Copies of this chain bind each other. A is one copy, B any other.
Amino acid sequence: MSDLVLRNARLWGIPEPTDMTIRDGRILQHGRSQVGADASEYDLQGALVLPGLVDAHAHVDKTLFSGPWVPRTAGPGLAAAIEYGRVERGKYGVPHPDYIEALLTNMVVHGTTHARSHIDIDPDLGINAVHAVREAVDRLRGRIDVELVAFPQTGLLTSPGTLDYMREAVEAGVELVGGIDPGGFDGDAVGHLDHIFELAERYGIGLDIHLHDGDNLGVYEFDLIIERTKALSMQGKVTVSHAFALFDADPATRQRLIDDLAENRINVTSVAPRKVLPLRDLDAAGVAMGIGNDGVRDLWSPYGTGEMLERTLWFARNSGFSKDPDIELALEAATYGGAHILGLPDYGLAEGSRADLLVVQARNAPEAVMTHPQPDLVVKNGVVTAHTGSLSE
């Protein structure tokens, strides 16, 4: 593999444009370099370089991206949405490797190099969605890494048999165990959490739990999660997604929860809803937060494109962020925060890092969020994977 040289690159956090040499999948060095005649060179003319975007909460298996427009007709509430998705998906062949591939492609051309996707596991589908997603990821040939979560979308206790399929998914190599509103949806907060913690602990893998439950039910469930994380010494391996209780809670309770999350190295992710997570407080306490696109163009929601910079804008805007350091904090969540949660080694733009990055037309990072341009160039493992909206050969 020949060297890749990016000239006149404005690296996020470094004021003056510099050159970057990439060799054997890594950032070899910043600054002028002597490279062989066969090196590929790009003159970025001062364009901004960001580390590869990390989608920390996706549901790529559900997508209808590139497929038919399906108007949503679910009844109100979470349970109705879940039932609607379960009943209707078969009509459209969901999970469908072609739709998943189309979505992953749009993610790649917009600079996402890593994602964590929850995958529906239930008695109807078994672990078929795992196969569908893996097939689509394989078609992208290394342009994006997707970590999978075995997700009991239709319930663990309310949908008997699901736990067995989740175990099967884990045996098949799925990286994490999921969970969903243990009390508010599945009806037994302690029972649900005991099952998923036990499964994760037995296989020595992580957990990522959907927690839409807000208010004091959500606080109660947070406490159960913190208690189990501590008891099983699973610090650093647990993520709570959505986590609306952190928005709903009174300031004292919120701070107490944040401190407990920090102490137990429990991460959170947000998909930038109106109930936006308190990123500044989380960051101050040292809690890692990631941003994700959630379901994109599926039976749950017509929103989304898989574009992380746009989602980061939504997060920043709903957070009321208008100052550069705050907007950069949101972008840190979409990059370094997600990378921390996914446990990516050697992530970033420093010398020696894995060369996963994107090049955008922006003068600085806040502008990149505000304009969320399509990247000119996306690099993964040192190889150019996309150019201005198209995958590279």
Contact = CB atoms under 8 A, between A and B. Distances in A.
Interface of A: 69, 71-73, 274, 276, 297, 300-303, 305, 313-314, 317-318, 320, 322-324, 327, 363-364, 366-367, 370-371
A200 B302 CA distance: 43
A313 B371 CA distance: 15
User: How many copies of the chain does the oligomer comprise?
Assistant: 2
A305 B370 CA distance: 9
A72 B322 CA distance: 7
29 contacts: A69-B363, A69-B366, A69-B367, A71-B323, A71-B324, A71-B366, A72-B322, A72-B323, A72-B324, A73-B323, A274-B274, A274-B276, A274-B318, A274-B320, A297-B370, A300-B322, A301-B322, A302-B322, A302-B324, A302-B327, A302-B366, A302-B367, A302-B370, A303-B313, A303-B317, A305-B371, A314-B314, A314-B317, A318-B318
Contacts of A73: 323
Nearest to A325: B71
Contacts of A69: 363-364, 366-367
A69 B327 CA distance: 14
Contacts of A72: 322-324
Contacts of A363: 69
Contacts of A303: 313, 317, 322, 370
A226 to B, nearest CB: 28
A327 B317 CA distance: 20
Contacts of A305: 371
